[in-house]
Homo-oligomer: A and B are copies of this chain.
Amino acid sequence: MEYPQESFNATTFAPDSFWARRRQVVRSQTLRHQLQMLKETGRYDAFKLKWHPSYSDPCAVWPVPNHLFWDSDVAKWIEGACYLLMDYPDEEIDAAIRELVGMIQSAQQPDGYLNIHYTVVEPEKRFTNLRDMHELYNAGHLVEAALAHRLLYKNDELLRPILKYVALLAATFGNQEGQKAGYPGHPEIELALLRLYKVTRDPEHLHLARFFLEERGNPSGGKERRHYYDVEAEARGERKNEVPESYPAPRSYWYQQAHVPITQQQTIEGHAVRAMYLLTSVADLVRISEPSSDVANKFLPALHRLWGNMIEKKAYVTGGIGAMKKWEGFGIDYFLPHGTDEGGCYAETCAAIGVMMLAERLLQIELSSHYADILELCLYNAVLTGMSLDGKGFTYVNQLASSEEDLSQRYEWFKCACCPPNVTRTLGCLGGYVWSWKVDNETRKATVNVHLYTSATLRFQVADSRVEITQKTQWPWHGDVSFLVNIDGPPVNLDLRLRIPGWASTWEVIPQPSQPDLRDGYLYLPSDWIQQHLEFRLSCPMRPRVVRPHPLTMQPVAYVTRGPIVYCVEDVDNSWENDHFKVGCHIPQGEEESRS
């Protein structure tokens, strides 16, 4: 199971677990709430290709029309809904998915093209502004929605039109005569194509993803031997100082991580979500390439370098990334103010989801608790915080300090509504982040890497045996985790690897292995030990810790953390705060009581 978006299905959260309860809220409240938002704002019906009055609104962020992301909002909701309906059938949601799929099918143009804006508003301008216009980003989310839809419905009703669209993209983009040597301003299609390739094994899908990644930032690309965004801008008649509002200066292509080829990028720059989606696809391409292949040799050092720069110098204590509001992204090294009144702490929810996605891909390349620690940090402190307890309020910006002028508040929806359905789909397939595993049916061997702790059961088949691994814990409030392994059928060689969190100053496994084998922060429990200890316990005592930011951040503050959680100090008397940041940062009331 190579992608959490597929593998989540093998995990069942215990009904009283922290995450089962959050996912239950998403299923019962969030999906409905977001469906209502899609309907109220016009997104739901947009694939009917009728004019919507808002299409004439001035751009909030020039040159990007406000409705440009509508395709992706719908797609991400479908994707999340499909994940959640695997566990919880729901007639109303099911009916909406079916209706949306029908509308998407009917919106497809004869040649396969499938995009709301460029069919209804500017049909003559298809693919003339890859830099700004999110066409390929929307396409990527449609691909991901189609893959999720196929998983739930086990049919190709959505995948079929999407494959036709992808075929058009593959014909349009590339280095061949008559093709455009361009690549998306907002990455997403790349990671979607790689997921698609896993299903289709169509070399065209792999080829197109790789083209986008290798061509990106080429200073002498295409026939003209120039930067594609320059060529494209000139063809549009754009003037040299006509600058997208997210750019601090003309040709700030680092905003899109396209200032130089990816392999030459020394520091992580620009729009944080784009950077994460891009590097997720780079990591995935490396993952499926031979370890010493050209692809791995050139991209892996860049991945290490950019991840390292980000985590060491451009990430908040919560795992949030991207201080700068103007370009929703990274500032200079160590520029990590806490609030708008200090210069910004944008830390977009989607960016933290992107860190989780990237960390998960990197864990597949090299099993190191460093990646899983960051993944868990983001999950509790920068992603979960993006949704309110009732599942109907969302953050986009996640300042660490609220100010009167710019309150930390949750909203029911956004004009650019990327974050809310992104949280939905992330929690939808959360089980896939808990553990990863490999099975060799011939040798009857299986290896399970446990990345996150929560009460849940993983079930998979090894040849004719059924393996069941159950963990029970009150994580993130208690650091004790009981494991129970059950193999139904002939014996299986089951290796287990348990992540030992970086914050755990002490830990133990009971019964104690005679020679604990700890590598890169994972405790390797070999199959013979497991066979003798089908029940065992991991204990990582959670002691409150005071953490300080790097001195070069110039932040004279201290954070109180315990286990994976960074605590938030807030005043219940804040008159404006109806929705205290309890989850993730605060211990929900019920939990706190159960602990005392």
Report which A residues bind B (CB closer than 8 A).
Answer: 62-63, 239-245, 248-250, 326, 331-335, 337, 341-343, 551-552, 554-556
Closest CB of chain B to A519's CB: distance in Å?
Answer: 36
Closest CB of chain B to A315's CB: distance in Å?
Answer: 17
Closest 6 CB pairs of A and B: A554-B554, A242-B242, A62-B241, A243-B243, A241-B242, A335-B343
In the assembled complex, the Cα of A242 lies from the Cα of B63 at a distance in Å of 12
9 of the cross-chain contacts (CB-CB < 8 Å) are: A241-B242, A241-B244, A242-B242, A245-B250, A249-B326, A332-B342, A334-B342, A335-B343, A554-B554
Copies of this chain held together in the complex: 2
- Which residues of chain B have C-beta atoms less than 8 A from A335's C-beta? 342-343
- Which residues of chain B have C-beta atoms less than 8 A from A250's C-beta? 62, 245
Contacts A62-B241, A241-B244, A342-B554 known; list 10 others, CB within 8 Å.
Answer: A63-B241, A239-B242, A241-B245, A331-B343, A332-B341, A334-B341, A337-B554, A342-B552, A554-B556, A556-B556
Closest CB of chain B to A397's CB: distance in Å?
Answer: 16
- Which residues of chain B have C-beta atoms less than 8 A from A555's C-beta? 554
> Most chain-B Cβ atoms within 10 A of its Cβ — which of A249, A326, A551?
A249
Known: A250-B245, A556-B554, A556-B556. A62 touches B240 (CB 8 A): yes
Closest CB of chain B to A250's CB: distance in Å?
Answer: 7
| Nearest neighbor of A555 in chain B, beta-carbon distance | B554
| Nearest neighbor of A556 in chain B, beta-carbon distance | B556
In the assembled complex, the Cα of A335 lies from the Cα of B332 at a distance in Å of 15
- Which residues of chain B have C-beta atoms less than 8 A from A63's C-beta? 241
In the assembled complex, the Cα of A590 lies from the Cα of B516 at a distance in Å of 69
In the assembled complex, the Cα of A126 lies from the Cα of B239 at a distance in Å of 23
In the assembled complex, the Cα of A555 lies from the Cα of B337 at a distance in Å of 12
Contact in complex: A332, B343 (CB < 8 Å): yes
- Which residues of chain B have C-beta atoms less than 8 A from A249's C-beta? 245, 326
| Nearest neighbor of A333 in chain B, beta-carbon distance | B341
> Most chain-B Cβ atoms within 10 A of its Cβ — which of A241, A244, A245?
A241
In the assembled complex, the Cα of A556 lies from the Cα of B333 at a distance in Å of 17
- Which residues of chain B have C-beta atoms less than 8 A from A343's C-beta? 331-332, 335, 343
Closest CB of chain B to A264's CB: distance in Å?
Answer: 18
| Nearest neighbor of A557 in chain B, beta-carbon distance | B554
Closest CB of chain B to A316's CB: distance in Å?
Answer: 15
- Which residues of chain B have C-beta atoms less than 8 A from A245's C-beta? 241, 249-250
Closest CB of chain B to A36's CB: distance in Å?
Answer: 34
In the assembled complex, the Cα of A244 lies from the Cα of B243 at a distance in Å of 9
| Nearest neighbor of A244 in chain B, beta-carbon distance | B241
Closest CB of chain B to A392's CB: distance in Å?
Answer: 32
Closest CB of chain B to A206's CB: distance in Å?
Answer: 38
In the assembled complex, the Cα of A595 lies from the Cα of B326 at a distance in Å of 53
- Which residues of chain B have C-beta atoms less than 8 A from A332's C-beta? 341-343
- Which residues of chain B have C-beta atoms less than 8 A from A239's C-beta? 239, 242
- Which residues of chain B have C-beta atoms less than 8 A from A241's C-beta? 62-63, 242-245
Closest CB of chain B to A332's CB: distance in Å?
Answer: 6
In the assembled complex, the Cα of A423 lies from the Cα of B332 at a distance in Å of 32
In the assembled complex, the Cα of A244 lies from the Cα of B556 at a distance in Å of 36
In the assembled complex, the Cα of A62 lies from the Cα of B241 at a distance in Å of 7
